[in-house]
Chains A and B, each alone.
Chain A
Amino acid sequence: MAAHPGTTASNELTPERASEQVAAFRRDVGRLIAEIGRVIVGHEDIVEGVVMALLAGGHILLEGVPGLGKTLLVRTLAEALDLRFSRIQFTPDLMPADIVGTNVITEDEHGHKRFEFQRGPIFAHLVLADEVNRATPKTQSALLEAMQEHSVTVAKQTYPLTEPFFVLATQNPLEMEGTYPLPEAQLDRFFCKLKVGFPSRAALHEIMDRTTRAEGVHATPVMSHERVLELRHLVRQVPVARSIQDYALRLLEATHPAAAPQGQKKGAASGVSLVQKYVRYGSSPRGAQAMLLGAKVRAVLDGRYAVASDDIHRVARPALRHRLILNFEGEAEGVDPDALIEAIIEATPEME
């Protein structure tokens, strides 16, 4: 991932200042999560994952059936962060210009006509791409280019997007008729993929209580976008030991069926055999980047100053699950990538 412009934090951190920043990080993020929690019932892991991706500088793909609060989550996040929020409902007839904007002819006070770029909804801090798989690949690619480059090019003119730029795309796993599943290359551009599950009964009671009474609950801004950028900078300064990084890379290698990493436990049900049986292609290096960045966020959130292997464990599934490309057997047998990742983690020792 490229370094983000607009970093305001100083590169030189004294231990005392670093300690303070870590404490402030935990306090601010805690407040953010609590503010979101005022509106969003349950889904703590989803909220944590979204915040983690936000602080790591990545984008999120949320997968879940309709009605589980995905859109509400994103909107609440935007409210809590005091960010510009835009929502794009992806439909099959949605065109790229509808997302990025287009040049329109305008007339000034002197009567001169000229083309003026009319910005699309992509020009926001927080973009919700609802049901992203319903748009055509052409439209999807327009969004995904903006996600990767943090800029939009229209008529040979490049327009940078304002930071922080954070995309949350949703897709429905059930209604596959008339959809255009995201290609693997575009899936790889998402920092992580979070699966929104059905809430528990207690959470449902709470949802009923909150949504059926007269007054609605809204989040209040608790963090500015500048503060978000500072936190992102701090996250990137978190050190990672070589052995921990090596562990993340070994996990990454283990997702590839062709490369059988040394030191892995072998067996009929081991990660190696399962990957060789069901995986066509493993994760790209972006997977390791996501794991390390996510682990850094986790480490700071836990009040530590360095990444641990447990942090890698916790972010491995959301960071890798959409990057494993299953082969025909895997698809036909309905193999869950999470189970594969779990087997890989189990088969890969922390110390080589």
Chain B
Amino acid sequence: MSAVMRTLVRVRRRLRLMATLRGLGEAALLAAGMLLGWTALHRLGVLAGGSASAREILGHRGALICAGLLLASGMLRRAFARLPLRLVAHRIDVSHGLADRLRTALELSATAPGSGLVSCALADAARAAAAVAPSRTAPLRWPPYLRWTGLLVSAAVLLALLPRSAPASPSRRVPEPPRLAVAAELLEPDREAVRELARRATAAGDAENAQVASELERLIARLERGELSRKEFFDRLAALEQRARDAEAELEALRQRLRKAGHELSQHRLTQKTGQALGQDRLAAAGQELSNLGRALEQRSLPLDDKTERELGRTLERAARETGAPPPSPTPPPSPPPGAQRSESPRAQQEKAPASPSPEQEGPRRLTRETAPQTSQPGERRADGAARPEQQLQHLQRNLGSAGSQLSQGRGGSGGGQGQAAQSLRQAGETLRQMQDQFDRAERNAAARSAMSDLKELARRQGTNQQAPEPQPGPQQAQAGGRSGQDPAGERPEKDQEADPTGSPQAQAGLGGTPSGQEGQTPRPQPGQAGQQGQAGQENHGAQGSGDRAARAGTSPSPGRAGTGQGENKAQSQAERLRDFFRRAQGQEKTGDEEPSPSPLSGLPAPPSAPGQKTPGPGGEQDAPGADSGQPGTPGPNTTPTGDNRPGDAHDPHLLGDPTRIAAHHVTQKLQGAQGSGPSRSATILGASERGFATTAYRRVYGDYNAITEEVMSKERVPPGYRYYIKRYFQLIKPRE
């Protein structure tokens, strides 16, 4: 027995060693995790505070001490764990296949008296113990979790070595807004208009409008390439519009001042023509008159007495004051487009806006600053050397005032004074002639604004189409394909729809648009087919001008386009009805904002019926539940569960005689089957045994019940739909022959 005990002790020692290594691995994993957490807390600054001694304790030295303690405790716990010898014996028996020889020997030596077989068993165990190899029972293994421990330690070291940086705020990825894409064909008219504007502005030396035209052209190009989102596009367009609007407002103020000045000048006979010309916004003519007056003064060809000279001087001074006076209440700005606050002037926005403008307001302002850097400072010289209207007005005021003061102070009689007045008047005349260019610029400005308005409308409509839901397969896809105009091969199909959104009577009658209307019903139209049809309609019926211009201008559509639009409307209507039918066929309630169901005779195509279903025969009892006959079960497409036509209430329209009416309150219920495999076989048998087994033959029971139902159906007025179900039910449960 001593041999067995020696083996057991030896193996137990080995087992303790391996347990110690295992404890080391487990403790190392814990320590590594602790180190990582410690380092993370340090990096986050949680353990950074406190006194110096506390920092020392909570620092890396403290972490290392804790890790060491963890390692030691883990190893010691495993090394000194309870390990009884019988367990060691069992492990040896299992590992060496000794059939419990050692365990039995250990127990028999302690309890049983030494009989012959026991002695044999002990001797057998001793022989087996001599061949025991401890390494087989407790093979040398690396401590567990070394890989994880290494990973954790590496992570802790990396975390400790990472340079400190400001905690980055969690960046939330803002989804990129969808790009606005407009077909090149749609943009071509606007591009042409902008080019024309640029040509005219360049020819007239109107640098500002030329710049606006250039900006617009770039905007159109980017829009065509799909580089702009909807918001970006409208922001940039609003900035350009703001520039044009500011320029118009400035010109309007200038016009008002000049008219007032003209009114003053028309009070004197010598400047009457000048004043009238100013009142009629003929600045060139007024300038010419002023120059002539100045030239006459200079040549002393005018019979001027002192009184007339002073009156002329005062008139000129009043006119100068009017030109320098702040503009009277400006004309009310044109009503802004719907939903566009961008139409307000930057000054008004500045007055209205709070101290810190919102980002939405900041965007157009920034764009305004970017696109119109020259307009940021009043009185600043333009790039081409032309003066701003305000400066020109100041020039005019200064010259008129100078001439007026010279003449009103009676110094005109002196040669020098009259010469100075004449020079001032000539300069004023020149200034007025230059200002005529500003007035000519207003026309180009209006053209630019018109082009911008067209672009805006086009983009708005395009954005509406893009926001529409994804086209569904089948008829909806055909409808969407005809409406969106996004088909690369298609040629502006949206024009066809825009041509007559409401549908003319002719179009509604489907006279002109039958082919295109059928196009909408095609389950899968060929790419661009609908658009080509629209173009064909334009060509055949002589659409005037470009299609989109006519459509946007609301001109009367050609019959071809109207027909196509009606066809798409029809397809859309049918698709809506089909969707509604399927929705209600699936038991979904109709929402309150939906359109009411069309009448049963509205030409709705019959929904796909189940195999075996038949439509009611004329004058007879129907053989199958029709889709729209209100049979029990699923409501038909033309009935709603909440309406009068509840399941079982409807009647066969071909029924002869008075319809029956069952005085019952119907409740539409949707029952769900129980999930799962059902009760077990034992539960089924047990339940059947508790209820009692059948004692009557099924055939007999069936015959009895079938006879009763036949009798009831022949005597009583059972609705045709119910008759079908009763017959079908008994047909299905009929016993086999």
Contact = CB atoms under 8 A, between A and B. Distances in A.
Interface in A292-325: 302, 304-311
B116 A241 contact: no
B592 to A, nearest CB: 50
Interface stretch (A12-20, A128-136, A141-149): A12-20
A203 to B, nearest CB: 30
Interface string B96-135: 0001110111011001100111111101100000000000
Given A304-B124, A329-B680, A241 B103 contact: yes
B87 interface: yes
Contact of A333 (B99, B101, B111, B682): B682
Contacts of B116: 12-15, 17-18, 237
B22 to A, nearest CB: 19
B69 interface: no
A28 B685 CA distance: 53
A243 B101 CA distance: 12
A198 interface: no
B682 A15 contact: no
B107 A241 contact: yes
A292 B646 CA distance: 77
A306 B100 contact: yes
Task: Determine which residue in B90, B112, B116 has the highest number of CB atoms from chain A within 10 A of its CB, and name it.
Answer: B116
A332 B685 contact: yes
B122 to A, nearest CB: 9
B66 interface: no
A346 B320 CA distance: 114
A237 B115 contact: yes
Nearest to A19: B120
B120 A22 contact: yes
B94 to A, nearest CB: 9
Contact of B680 (A14, A237, A306, A333): A333
Contacts of B115: 12-13, 18, 237, 239
A334 to B, nearest CB: 8
Interface string A331-343: 1110000000000
Interface residues of B, number: 28
A239 B682 contact: no
B715 interface: no
Nearest to A302: B99
A331 B90 CA distance: 39
B83 interface: no
Contacts of B87: 351
Contacts of B107: 241-243
Given A13-B115, A239-B112, A244-B104, A328 B99 contact: no
A283 B296 CA distance: 142
B195 interface: no
Interface in A47-91: none
B117 A238 contact: yes
Please classify the interface of chain B as helix (H, G, I), strand (E, B), loop, or mixed, using the class held by over half of its residues: helix
A238 to B, nearest CB: 6
A241 B90 contact: no
Interface in B172-218: none
A308 B98 CA distance: 9
B123 A239 contact: no
A98 interface: no
Interface string A231-260: 000000111111110000000000000000
B686 interface: yes
Contacts of B111: 242
Contact of B90 (A12, A237, A304, A350): A350
B82 interface: no
B121 A306 contact: yes
Interface in A1-38: 12-15, 17-19, 22
Given A244-B100, A328-B686, A15 B108 contact: no
Nearest to B114: A15
Interface in B24-58: none
A113 B320 CA distance: 174
Contacts of B105: 306
Contacts of A306: 100-101, 104-105, 108, 117-118, 121, 124
Nearest to A328: B682
Nearest to A237: B117
B118 A310 contact: no
Contacts of A14: 116, 119
Q: Which of B90, B99, B112 has the most chain A CB atoms closer than 10 A to its own CB?
A: B99
Given A332-B682, A351-B90, A18 B104 contact: no
Contact of B99 (A308, A332, A351): A308
B710 to A, nearest CB: 40
B100 A305 contact: no
Given A239-B117, A305-B120, A350-B90, A310 B104 contact: no
B121 to A, nearest CB: 4
Interface hub of B118, B681, B685 (most chain A Cβ within 10 A):
B118
A141 B572 CA distance: 89
B60 interface: no
A329 B679 CA distance: 12
A332 B680 CA distance: 9
Interface in B354-388: none
Contacts of B680: 329, 332-333
B590 interface: no
Interface in B49-105: 86-87, 90, 93, 99-101, 103-105
A351 B99 CA distance: 14
B117 A243 contact: no
B98 to A, nearest CB: 8
B81 to A, nearest CB: 16
Contact of B117 (A18, A308, A309): A18
B100 A241 contact: yes
Contacts of A19: 120
A239 B108 contact: yes
A308 B120 contact: no
A298 to B, nearest CB: 10
A304 B117 CA distance: 9
Given A241-B107, A243-B86, A306-B108, A18 B101 contact: no
A239 B118 contact: yes
Interface string B313-340: 0000000000000000000000000000
A329 B112 CA distance: 45
Contacts of B112: 239
Contacts of A15: 116, 119-120, 123
Nearest to B106: A241
Nearest to B125: A306
A55 to B, nearest CB: 15
B677 to A, nearest CB: 13
A14 B103 CA distance: 22
A239 B685 contact: no
B682 A18 contact: no
Contacts of A241: 100, 103-104, 107-108
A308 B681 contact: no
Q: Chain B CB within 10 Å — which of A15, A238, A309, A328 has the most? A: A15
B105 to A, nearest CB: 8
Nearest to B90: A351
Contacts of B120: 15, 18-19, 22, 305
Contacts of B681: 332-333
Nearest to A14: B116
Contacts of A243: 86, 103, 107
Contacts of A308: 93, 99-101, 104
17 contacts: A12-B115, A18-B116, A19-B120, A22-B117, A22-B120, A239-B104, A240-B104, A241-B100, A241-B103, A244-B100, A305-B121, A306-B124, A307-B104, A310-B99, A310-B100, A332-B682, A333-B681
Lowest 8 CB-CB distances: which A-B pairs, in order?
A13-B116, A332-B682, A18-B116, A305-B121, A308-B100, A308-B99, A241-B104, A15-B119
Given A22-B117, A306-B108, 13 more contacts: A12-B116, A14-B119, A241-B103, A241-B107, A243-B86, A243-B107, A304-B121, A305-B120, A308-B99, A308-B100, A308-B104, A310-B99, A332-B686
